[in-house]
Structure 1
Amino acid sequence: MTAEDYINGHVILIDKPLDWTSFQVVNKLRWIIKEKYGIKKIKVGHAGTLDPLATGLLIICTGKFTKKIEEYQGQEKEYTGIITLGATTPSYDLETNFDQEFDHSKVTEEMVNEAVLGFIGDIEQRPPVFSALKKDGKRLYEYAREGKKVEIPTRTVHISEFEITGFSKPDIHFRVVCSKGTYIRTLAHDLGKAVGSGSHLSKLRRTRIGEFKVENALSIEDFEAGITS
């Protein structure tokens, strides 16, 4: 690869590590490319945010390919992860502390598999208050951190596949294929309600965006080693 290649446009598949924000990954790759080639300025962006507690596929676009970001964001996505029964959190994942505990002793695998059927197809979903969506020019998580309540409208999303791949109470292992704009944290929260218990998302990994797969992605370290060698 040359500096011109990155400026003309390139797609980099990164396996985002735990605890990194998508923005931090973009900044790191921009810095690596600029340092290697002595470029003063280059556009770098990502196609679809992953929460810090999620790992997996992040599509990074450079140069002129940043114009393709919206196209990539609109593609179908696949995730795997773990939904844990027995407690809820305000963020629907482990970013915030438990706010309520529930008895999940009566929840069976059959109940979960039956409930999952109700989430396949077009569904109405309410985004979590701890999200980067904007309302009146302000991100929802800013309202949440200030303790302010805001009315969040539901949105229609499409779930084409929702499969339970393992059940070891309190953990429900899953795989889901969904449209752009789907919040897996909300799906985890709503599944708990559907089986008469609270739940939260305890692990999430994005494995595919359209035809791009995580098995073809590089770690940040491998990308840096490859570009500087």
Structure 2
Amino acid sequence: MSRYRPLDGLLLLDKPQGLSSNQALQQVRRLFRAEKAGHTGSLDPLATGLLPVCFGEATKIAGLLLGSRKAYETIARLGVTTDTDDADGQPLRERPVPTLDEATFEAALAPLRGRIAQRAPIYSALKQGGEALYARARRGEAVEAPVRKVEVFRLEVLERTAEAVRLHVECGSGTYVRSLVRDLGEALGCGAHVAMLRRLWVEPFRAPRMYTLEELAACAAQGEAALDACLLPLEDGLAGFPQVRLDAEGARRLGQGQRLRAPAGTTEGMAAAYGPDGRCLGLVEIAAGRLAPQRLFRWAAG
């Protein structure tokens, strides 16, 4: 029996603390014996929570999930900055935490909401000159992290003590919670770093049923049927897209890569095209009354 097998679908993994996203992915891939797998947006080793894993044809929509809105809960430890902006790094500076009232906190949080310019952490996977920043930082090289436009939809205090604050964050693609916490600490005048980070959801999975590695291992011990029952169909990852229904002839022509007349009443933009059997054939672009294939799944060819 082949070690790996063709497998299509989505797994909502509850990534444990201490593993990189790639290490977690490889463990999952071995459990499922999947020929092809990828994840949608890295979580730091310190972080836990939702890491959507795409198997087989679902890897074609991984980039869409990567760019989706996300939510996190984090605990910011006040008074200490680190070189990685989280608890896994080396302390750089310690400062006393002043007495902070609600108005002071709100004044510090307000500039971090909305469309903002954010400097990424030095220890990040962003690349300069083809190499990740963290690799250069670990060699002791001087690193100038880039400033990028990101969007923060919500940034709210859930609970706070004299030396820590628990925050709820909802943000768009490319936002670093570590940078938000770092910048909040500087605005408060005492510095801060991430002590805990958990990803709560990624659109369109707003109320995800996540599986831990331990749960998946227990399912694997029962057999592949029990393990595969943990998967979602890749169509679930396209829930946020408008749907276009095609008849058998339209589905056949789309599978051949042909442009079609868009069904009446469809709006322009990206949409998910479905065949008469209810299965998603792939993503299409609708413009000027025409429907053009963009990213089709292998079964679209029939």
Superposition TM-score, scaled by structure 2 size: 0.70
Distance 1:173 1:110 in 2: 17
SS of 1:221's equivalent?
A: helix
* Gapped regions of structure 1 (runs ≥ 5): 35-40
- After superposition, the Cα gap between the structure-2 partners of 1:28 and 1:214, relative to the gap in structure 1 and judged at 3 Å, is farther
Residue 68 of structure 1 corresponds to: 61
- After superposition, the Cα gap between the structure-2 partners of 1:117 and 1:158, relative to the gap in structure 1 and judged at 3 Å, is same
Residue 6 of structure 2 corresponds to: 7
Distance 2:16 2:183 in 1: 27
Distance 1:127 1:214 in 2: 28
Letter in 2 for 1:64: E
Q: Is the 8 A contact 1:109 1:167 kept in 2?
A: no
Letter in 2 for 1:164: V
Give the Å deviation of 1:7.
2.8
Distance 1:109 1:142 in 2: 39
Q: Is the 8 A contact 2:69 2:170 kept in 1?
A: yes
Residue 81 of structure 2 corresponds to: 88
Distance 2:85 2:207 in 1: 24
Give the Å deviation of 1:213.
4.2
Q: Is the 8 A contact 1:80 1:204 kept in 2?
A: yes
Distance 2:193 2:151 in 1: 20
Distance 1:110 1:55 in 2: 31
Give the Å deviation of 1:163.
0.6
SS of 1:29's equivalent?
A: helix
Residue-by-residue CA offset, 1:90-135 (whole Å, 9 max, x unaligned) = 1000111211011212333331122111111100001011111111
Letter in 1 for 2:6: I
Q: Is the 8 A contact 1:119 1:159 kept in 2?
A: yes
- Number of paired residues? 219
Distance 1:28 1:91 in 2: 26
Q: In terms of Rg, which structure is larger?
A: 2
Residue 227 of structure 2 corresponds to: none
Q: Is the 8 A contact 2:79 2:96 kept in 1?
A: yes
Give percent identity, aligned residues only: 35
Give the Å deviation of 1:171.
0.6
* Gapped regions of structure 2 (runs ≥ 5): 223-302
Give the Å deviation of 1:146.
1.2
Alpha-carbon RMSD: 1.6
Give the Å deviation of 1:152.
2.2
Give the Å deviation of 1:158.
0.2
Give the Å deviation of 1:195.
1.3
SS of 1:19's equivalent?
A: coil
Q: Is the 8 A contact 1:15 1:214 kept in 2?
A: no
Stretch deviating more after TM superposition (62-71 or 111-120)? 111-120
Residue 30 of structure 1 corresponds to: 29
Q: Is the 8 A contact 1:8 1:65 kept in 2?
A: no
Distance 1:214 1:110 in 2: 32
Distance 1:93 1:160 in 2: 22
Letter in 2 for 1:209: V
Residue 139 of structure 1 pairs with residue 138 of structure 2: no
Q: 1:202 aligns with which of 178, 182, 195?
A: 195
Residue 48 of structure 1 corresponds to: 41
Matches within 5 A, 1:173-184: 173-184=166-177
